[in-house]
Amino acid sequence: MSEKLKFNRRNHTVGLATVHLVWIPKRRRKVLIGDVKKRLLEIFAEVAKDNSFVIRSQEVAPDHVHLLIEYSSRDSIAQVVQAFKGRSSRLLRKEFPELLKLPSLWSRSYFYETTGKVSSEKIRAYIEDPHHY
């Protein structure tokens, strides 16, 4: 299914910025399951809404996260990552005490790849492929 792209329009800019993000829980523990995974997806939706991000695709595997995010040119990739990782870590560790066994929920590192029109579709297919399990 082809999706017509809508460009973000500001006073002096027109464009579309998307990024493919991947990160893992600390020590790559398989903790993103069941209620934790369900709540994580809810938190991601809240973060996206609060920051005017658009989640084009997402996958939460037991030991890693993939997001394809459309974001504003006013935001840096580091700010986008921090918005998702920061809030999700704080809320999940508060709501699920078993996650406090880890020194932190997320590893400090993350992978990012900026995408274009064609690359976004390929990345979406990759993220939605069930190979993560």
Per-residue pLDDT tens over the stretch 58-69: 999 999 999 999
How many angstroms separate the first and last alpha carbons of the chain?
Answer: 25
pTM of the model: 0.83
Instruction: Give me the helices (H) in the chain, please.
Output: 34-51, 77-95, 117-128
Mean local confidence (pLDDT), 104-116: 92
Structure tokens at 93: 């560790």
**Does residue 1 have a pLDDT over 50?**
no
Cα of 39 vs its chain's centroid, Å:
14
Domain ranges within the chain, ordered by starting residue: 15-132
Pick the CATH number of 15-132 from 3.90.260.10, 3.20.20.70, 2.60.120.650, 3.30.70.1290: 3.30.70.1290
Confidence bin at 75 (pLDDT 50/70/90): very high
CB hemisphere CA count around 112 (13 angstroms): 15
**Does residue 33 have a pLDDT over 90?**
yes
CB hemisphere CA count around 130 (13 angstroms): 0
Whole-number pLDDT of residue 133:
61
